[in-house]
Structure 1
Amino acid sequence: MSQLSLRSLGRAEVVRDGQPVKWEAESSRDLVFFLLAHPEGRTREDIIQGLWQEDPSARSSNRFRVALHRARAALGAPGRIAEVYGVYRLSDEVLRASDVFRLYAALAEAEHAGGDARLQALSQALAEYGGDFLPHLQAEWVQTAREEHLSAYTRACLERSVLHCEHLQCELAVQDLVAALRRDPFLGENHHQKLMTCLSVVEGKYAATEHYRRFLRFLREDLNDAPMPETVDLAGRIKRGERICHHGQPEVRLTHNCPFTADGRCPGPYAELLKLV
């Protein structure tokens, strides 16, 4: 059977036997990625409403049948989009061929690993995240999946920054904190405090103070808010040149938002498929 590779993070691409798939219509391509965003599957009615915002009718049902036929042909086998009791889903083989699956498989491994193995698993997860989920689309179902995957990415960044901090790899800790906050500046204020602390060690008090000023501007212009007293106090201590970094904090494990499971944790009900990686 032909080999598949699905990329959806940072770009949308399906490769079959080393060649990019040429879609007969965008509807068939979008159907594949819609099912990737809903690995548990969706009914015909859910797909019609989710993809095209249409109610079930003879016209929309025909549109679905055509898109399904073309999507199956593009993937190389009818069974790669299976239908069981009226629910359509990508086969396990197709799901395992996706970057989204590899991201969450690596996060699942990190949750159950320790030491260097945990660091390697987190690094593998971050390497899989090439950018926003389906950046060319702005549909509601895309936005929902995009936020879930972004949350997984930023939490992996934060978790790896803790490991770097524990090993006194301050520059690497700063890189991960910056990556997380660049992707999602609305993360908790405590993460901005941590970055200020790390910057004061790696680049000095002026770099840490500059981040504080940018954070103040973000709070004022985007949120019409002010920093917590703890953040103001921290900035003052940094400006005075105090040494405020404390290593050896207890290990922190963050909860991941896994869209493949009902409770948001990996591997959960997806465990059997994850074992096959």
Structure 2
Amino acid sequence: MTTMPTLSLRSLGRTEILREGQPVKWCAESARDLVLFLLSSPEGQTRDEIIDAIWHEDPTARSGNRFRVTLHRARTALGSLESITEEYGAYRLSDDVLRASDVFTLYASLGQAESTEGDARFFSLSQAIEAYTGDFLPHIQADWAQTAREEHRAAYTRACIERSVLHCEHLHCDLAVRDLVAALRADPFIGENYHQKLMTCLSVVEGKYAATEHYRRFVKFLHDDLSDTPMPETVELAEQVKAGERICQRGEREDAPLTHNCPLTSDGRCPGHYAELLQLA
């Protein structure tokens, strides 16, 4: 058994695979594709599934030979024959390789958060959020990458939402807003109740105008992207906000800094005259 070199696999937001601190040298692009494909499927894939995903070919003697050569090149590039294992016909990255990836950090941290409470839970959620620096393999448009991309984005979104709840419990309203904004920016299609929650938090942190502005953007988003309208309780909440009613009985606005983040725009900025009003608030 060979000694596994120190590896680092970054696939969230950027793609970078390092061996002993240096970029891995690939004999062929297909070897790199194999490693990335297996990173998207930690449970492993059969030879035929790999051939179909990477080369879009049927299993033949020719494609089988191509697979064997690519497998050897991938193992050599990672520095160990044990870097990619085979069991019951399924090929997968070894546990050591997987543990060197940011994807592993994301899910390991979420797992720790589920089994802990208090400060330990907050720390684990923060680790998960920090591990996610962007979409999984953003340069690859293959179906297998897109499927994993959506799963990892959902995991990140869940971490942001769960941490926002902890912030809310400790009356850190401005931080709760930031995490909710991050979650909704990553996936504005999540439950409407989270948009309601953001409206409520914004009414505490930035006031009724910011909360109303988010409601209006959400209504436009529903109309333009889903051909839908907000739920009656969302409309009712918006009317309460506009009327200046105190929605959240826990939050205190006086000491909370303004955040000015719009979750439905790519850069978080609110265009037009509203942005100027916010800067003067």
TM-score (norm 1): 0.87
In structure 2, the residue matched to 1:242 is 245
Comparing 31-40 with 232-241, which one deviates more in the overlay?
A: 31-40
Q: Which runs of 5+ in 2 are unaligned?
A: 252-281
Measured against aligned partners, the alpha-carbon deviations of 1:203-228 in whole angstroms (never above 9, x if no partner) come to 01000011011001100110001000
**SS across alignment from 1:6:** strand
**SS across alignment from 2:140:** coil
Give, in whole Å, the separation in 1 of the partners of 2:46 and 2:193.
42
- How big is the shift at 1:85? 2.9
Please give the root-mean-square deviation of Cα atoms over the aligned residues, in Å.
Answer: 1.1
1:30-41 equivalent positions in 2, closer than 5 A = 30-41=33-44
Matched, 1:222 2:234: no
Letter in 2 for 1:215: F
Work out the number of aligned pairs and report it.
248
In structure 2, the residue matched to 1:119 is 122
Letter in 1 for 2:9: L
Structure 1 outlier segments of 4+, above 6 Å: none
In structure 1, the residue matched to 2:26 is 23
In structure 2, the residue matched to 1:208 is 211
Give, in whole Å, the separation in 2 of the partners of 1:200 and 1:83.
55
The one of 162, 173, 178 aligned to 1:175 = 178
The one of 148, 153, 158 aligned to 1:150 = 153
Give, in whole Å, the separation in 2 of the partners of 1:104 and 1:184.
18
In structure 1, the residue matched to 2:166 is 163
Letter in 1 for 2:124: A
Give, in whole Å, the separation in 2 of the partners of 1:62 and 1:247.
65
Give, in whole Å, the separation in 2 of the partners of 1:171 and 1:24.
50
**SS across alignment from 2:112:** helix
In structure 2, the residue matched to 1:262 is none
Give, in whole Å, the separation in 2 of the partners of 1:180 and 1:216.
18
Measured at CA, do residues 238 and 26 of structure 1 come closer, stay the same or move farther in structure 2, by a change above 3 Å? same
Give, in whole Å, the separation in 2 of the partners of 1:246 and 1:109.
31
Matched, 1:132 2:135: yes
Give, in whole Å, the separation in 2 of the partners of 1:177 and 1:208.
13
Give, in whole Å, the separation in 1 of the partners of 2:161 and 2:54.
34
Measured against aligned partners, the alpha-carbon deviations of 1:112-171 in whole angstroms (never above 9, x if no partner) come to 111111001000010000110000001011011111100100001000000000000000
In structure 1, the residue matched to 2:98 is 95
Q: Larger Cα Rg: Structure 1 or Structure 2?
A: 2
In structure 2, the residue matched to 1:192 is 195
Matched, 1:54 2:68: no
- How big is the shift at 1:52? 2.1
Give, in whole Å, the separation in 2 of the partners of 1:85 and 1:151.
30
Letter in 2 for 1:12: T
**SS across alignment from 1:11:** coil
Letter in 1 for 2:243: R
TM-score (norm 2): 0.86
- How big is the shift at 1:36? 1.1
- How big is the shift at 1:84? 2.1
- How big is the shift at 1:70? 1.1
Give, in whole Å, the separation in 2 of the partners of 1:77 and 1:165.
47
In structure 1, the residue matched to 2:81 is 78
Give, in whole Å, the separation in 2 of the partners of 1:183 and 1:40.
26
In structure 1, the residue matched to 2:268 is none
Letter in 2 for 1:72: R
Letter in 2 for 1:112: S
Question: Identity of aligned pairs, percent?
Answer: 72
Give, in whole Å, the separation in 1 of the partners of 2:199 and 2:179.
13
Measured against aligned partners, the alpha-carbon deviations of 1:168-221 in whole angstroms (never above 9, x if no partner) come to 000000000000000101011000000000000000100001101100110011
In structure 1, the residue matched to 2:274 is none
**SS across alignment from 1:14:** strand
Measured against aligned partners, the alpha-carbon deviations of 1:236-271 in whole angstroms (never above 9, x if no partner) come to 0000000001449xxxxxxxxxxxxxxxxxxxxxxx
Matched, 1:11 2:14: yes
Give, in whole Å, the separation in 2 of the partners of 1:239 and 1:85.
62
